């Protein structure tokens, strides 16, 4: 343990004198010197204090800090500027804020309301176009907010706010380009793709304003305890999805990320009934009108095609085997979506390529030898067949959870068989043999589509190219 340093009495006296000399109050030749020194010390104190930040703010993520700061300042800036102006006025000038005949006991509430309206108008003129109501969802790209758009007469819109990260901003620019082309060729929104109203850059955050829609078909399914949709509801939603995606394909565009989360109801109001057998409340959506959303990964035919596209469960075999992809990969995704609507669970519940291929073979039969010969992913195959051990734990899982497609039928009624005939045609391994969406709309499954259900779903006429 170190010893405390000791000093002789003479050293202690000299050190005490030095400390006293340093603490001595400085002398001033004039009052102006005294004020100048006080100002200098005041500036030094403020400068030092300006580096102090709250711990809670520092603990936020790097991306969250500018987001919170910029958006909060936007809403407070006007009121703070008024407070600053009031503080700068001399005490005698406070009268300028009130009329000469003003008194606390004689307040005109009508004039107060008028001043509030004037302040609100001024607030809007200073750039606050969107008033946030609630958060609709969040993702890696940023978040989607429900807002009131004051320039659209107070209409409610969905505002997609992109993080100030270059890769997300670039994806947003590509999405805006696709949405502008769609608006140009479908101004009346007949082909059921989400409508973009406007876009802008707010302090580095790309913001896209959309029509406000309701729950996604997946979220409704989830909130309904994964109770599948009825065959009639599946028919109407399937027709709309095929119509919307056919519109994209006709115009040399592939969505590449079709899934129930990206199919949204226009209105998700529902009726409630009680299931006596299962002892639970069950919801039935009133209207099955839907829109296709999320064009952040959409790709024109002439653009670069990424090697991997689509969310895992809806990914086509040609994408897994890296054989190149085009419009048919969207058709495969639609087949998986319709199966999920009909049964309430995912067809290919996996996160591994080899297991995914094993599930396909269990449900749809063996992978064609031509695709096996052409693929660069030979590690998944051995002697022209899938390298898969059915006796392993993964093999047991696939065997117990997957079965041939037709064995998933819930009824032997003709319309159920027609649906599965449509799904089988969409889940064809060979992209060239897969059902085209133009033919899918003529499938017998859609012959019983009600007139009221088909209203507003006029077929696409002509081949209008929006890729240029």
State yes or no: is 257 an active-site residue: yes
CB 231 within 8 A of CB 415: yes
Alpha-carbon separation of residue 413 from 55, 129, 284, 445 (angstroms): 65, 54, 22, 12
Look up residue 246 and give its two tokens.
């056919």
Q: Check the annotation: does 190 bind a ligand.
A: no
Catalytic residue among 149, 250, 257, 294: 257
Backbone angles phi, psi at 467, to 5 degrees: -80, -10
CB 132 within 8 A of CB 182: no
Alpha-carbon separation of residue 258 from 69, 211, 296, 309, 332 (angstroms): 35, 19, 11, 10, 9
CA distance 449 to 242: 14
Q: How many CB atoms lie within 10 A of CB 240?
A: 22
- What angle do the packed helices 328-343 and 231-250 form, to 10 degrees? 170
Helix ranges, 59-125 (H): 64-88, 109-125
- The CA-based angle 189-204-81, given to 5 degrees, is 110
Q: What is the DSSP string of 50-63?
A: TT---HHHHTS-TT
Three-state DSSP class for 210? strand
**Closest to 316 measured CA to CA, from 306, 305, 326:** 326
Q: How many CB atoms lie within 10 A of CB 243?
A: 22
DSSP H/E element including 176: helix 166-185
Look up residue 325 and give its two tokens.
């992809």
Q: Tell me the β-bridge partners of 196.
A: 210
Binding-site residues, in ranges, read: 160
Binding-site residues for ATP, in ranges, read: 160
Active site members: 257
């Amino acid at each position: 343990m170190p010893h405390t340093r000791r000093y002789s009495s003479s050293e202690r006296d000299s050190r005490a004198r030095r400390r006293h000399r340093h603490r001595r109050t400085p002398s001033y030749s004039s009052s102006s010197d005294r004020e100048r020194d006080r100002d200098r010390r005041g500036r030094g104190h403020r400068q030092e204090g300006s580096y102090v930040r709250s711990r809670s703010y520092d603990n936020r993520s790097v991306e969250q800090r500018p987001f919170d700061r910029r958006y909060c300042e936007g809403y407070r800036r006007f009121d703070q500027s008024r407070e600053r102006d009031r503080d700068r006025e001399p005490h005698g000038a406070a009268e300028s804020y009130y009329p000469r005949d003003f008194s606390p006991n004689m307040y005109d509430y009508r004039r107060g309301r008028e001043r509030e309206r004037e302040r609100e108008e001024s607030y809007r003129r200073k750039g606050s176009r969107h008033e946030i109501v609630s958060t609709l969802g969040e993702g890696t790209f940023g978040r989607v907010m429900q807002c009131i758009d004051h320039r659209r007469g107070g209409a409610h819109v969905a505002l997609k706010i992109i993080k100030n990260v270059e890769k997300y901003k670039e994806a947003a620019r590509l999405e805006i380009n696709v949405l502008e082309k769609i608006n140009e060729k479908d101004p009346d929104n007949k082909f059921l793709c989400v409508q973009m109203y406007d876009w802008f850059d707010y302090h580095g955050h790309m913001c896209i304003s959309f029509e406000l829609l309701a729950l996604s078909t997946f979220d409704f399914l989830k909130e309904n305890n994964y109770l599948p949709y009825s065959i009639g509801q599946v028919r109407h939603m399937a027709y709309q999805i095929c119509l919307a995606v056919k519109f994209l394909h006709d115009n040399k565009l592939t969505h590449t990320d079709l899934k129930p989360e990206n199919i949204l109801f226009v209105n998700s109001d529902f009726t409630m009934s009680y299931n006596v057998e299962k002892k639970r409340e069950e919801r039935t959506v009133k209207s099955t009108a839907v829109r296709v959303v999320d064009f952040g990964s959409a790709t024109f035919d002439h653009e670069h095609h990424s090697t991997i596209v689509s969310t895992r469960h809806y990914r086509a075999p040609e994408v897994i085997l890296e054989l190149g992809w085009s419009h048919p990969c969207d058709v495969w995704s639609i087949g998986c979506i319709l199966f999920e609507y009909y049964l309430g669970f995912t067809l290919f519940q996996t996160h591994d390529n080899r297991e995914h291929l094993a599930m396909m073979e269990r449900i749809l039969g063996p992978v064609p030898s031509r695709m096996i010969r052409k693929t660069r992913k030979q590690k998944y195959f051995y002697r022209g067949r899938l390298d898969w051990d059915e006796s392993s734990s993964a093999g047991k899982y696939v065997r117990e959870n997957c079965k041939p497609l037709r064995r998933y039928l819930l009824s032997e009624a003709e319309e159920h068989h027609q649906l599965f005939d449509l799904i089988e045609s969409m889940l064809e391994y060979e992209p060239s043999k897969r059902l085209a969406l133009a033919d899918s709309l003529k499938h017998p499954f859609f012959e019983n589509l009600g007139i009221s259900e088909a209203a507003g779903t006029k077929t696409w006429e002509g081949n209008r190219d929006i890729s240029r």
